[in-house]
Amino acid sequence: MTTHDKVNLLDLDKPGLQAFFADMGEKAFRASQVLKWIYQFGVADFDAMSNLGKGLREKLKSVAEVRPPRVVSEHRSHDGTIKWVLQLDNLNCIETVFIPETERGTLCVSSQVGCALDCSFCSTAQQGFNRNLSVGEIIGQLWVANQAMGCLPREQRQITNVVMMGMGEPLLNFDNVVKAMSLMLDDDAYGLSKRRVTLSTSGVVPALDRLKQVIDVSLAVSLHATDDALRDKLVPLNRKYPIAELMAACKRYLGDDARRRITFEYVMLDGINDSDAHARALVKLLRDVPSKVNLIPFNPFPNTTYKCSPQARIDAFRDILIQHGLTTITRKTRGNDIEAACGQLAGQVMDRTKRSLRREQQAGVGS
């Protein structure tokens, strides 16, 4: 049996791993044992799983493996941010970013190779789209990061928060993302608090309603505009699920829990969406939605026509929101020198949408 014919245990959440052991004639508790070895101790060698019998270890070696994405390169920023380029197959690479802060460490995880959406201000979107990531390719990013930083066993970990804000739209890879997040939350795996796992979406409304039914995690919404005409241009998904529908879905997601809030992400684009009038419109839009706002200074990438709003304009925008009672922070740009900042992740995408080719042709015509 070749290695890729074996079952990659990173692809299995706890129910999947319990079923895997049941098929082998083993008890369900073996799943918890193996989850702890893989995720709490970072062990990929079955022989090192000392509380498993020798016979079971031999069976596992013959039919299974722990196969994370392969690290192609590691890049470290002057501010401590780390970016890993991870190879998935012979054609595609993704990027994963660790952002250290004083009281927490956040890992930004990708969910797709490229992105099926076409947000005009995002470098990832310019690369086009190839495919969804498997469960193992999603949770494997967390596994690789823990290994690379040497923060094992679990008590020594530096990663305290995970945000599904890397390459791709998580809700367009619903099942695999949910299974991966369940491993992030599972006490036998990473055991993160549900408030420390955040899914960021551009607003796939039906999937957002479905998400509420199957897993409880924090939610961030990429908003970036307060009227449909502008958001149609910035976030084309808005043409299918306009702002009114998105806001209604956000309220449904929160339900009656008065303690919860949704984070709305708002990229600051010079002369596009950053006026005082835009700020007041944002206040009005969010007045009935328990929320906080992250203002994101635009991070440039090749061939973009957008510019970041000046700092004074960002500050004035922020002050209007705060004066009207909206909790607002300006996200500090991290990892810009290694192209790891928000909106800059590109990876290596074999674009089956031909979007990147069309962009190159258009750029050639205009040059």
Active-site position among 137, 151, 342, 360 = 342
Domains (ranges, CATH) in the chain? 3-65 (1.10.150.530), 70-363 (3.20.20.70)
- Output the six-digit token pair for 331: 């996200």
Q: Quick one: pLDDT at residue 365?
A: 47
Q: In the prediction, which pLDDT does 359 show?
A: 56
The model carries a pTM of: 0.91
d(CA 349, CA 93): 7
Q: What Cα–Cα distance (Å) separates residue 173 from each residue in 12, 59, 199?
A: 16, 32, 12
Is 313:274 a contact under the CB 8 Å cutoff?
A: yes
Out of 93, 95, 108, 265, pick the active-site residue.
Answer: 95
Task: Give the span between the Cα atoms of 225 and 203, in whole angstroms.
Answer: 13
SS3 category, 262: strand
* Local confidence pLDDT in tens for the 367 residues of the chain: 455 689 999 999 999 999 999 999 999 999 999 999 999 999 999 999 999 999 999 999 999 999 999 999 999 988 889 999 999 977 788 999 999 988 899 999 999 998 888 888 887 777 788 899 999 999 999 999 999 998 776 667 799 999 999 999 999 999 999 999 999 999 999 999 999 999 999 999 999 999 999 999 999 999 999 999 999 999 999 999 999 999 999 999 999 887 899 999 999 999 999 999 999 999 999 999 999 999 999 988 888 899 999 999 999 999 999 999 999 999 887 666 666 555 555 556 667 666 566 656 555 544 4
Q: Is 342 a catalytic residue?
A: yes
Buried b / exposed e along 217-249 (16+ C-beta atoms within 10 A):
bbbbbbbbbbeeebbbbbbebbeebbbeebbeb
Rounded CA-CA distance 97/82 in Å is 6
Q: Is 151 among the catalytic positions?
A: no
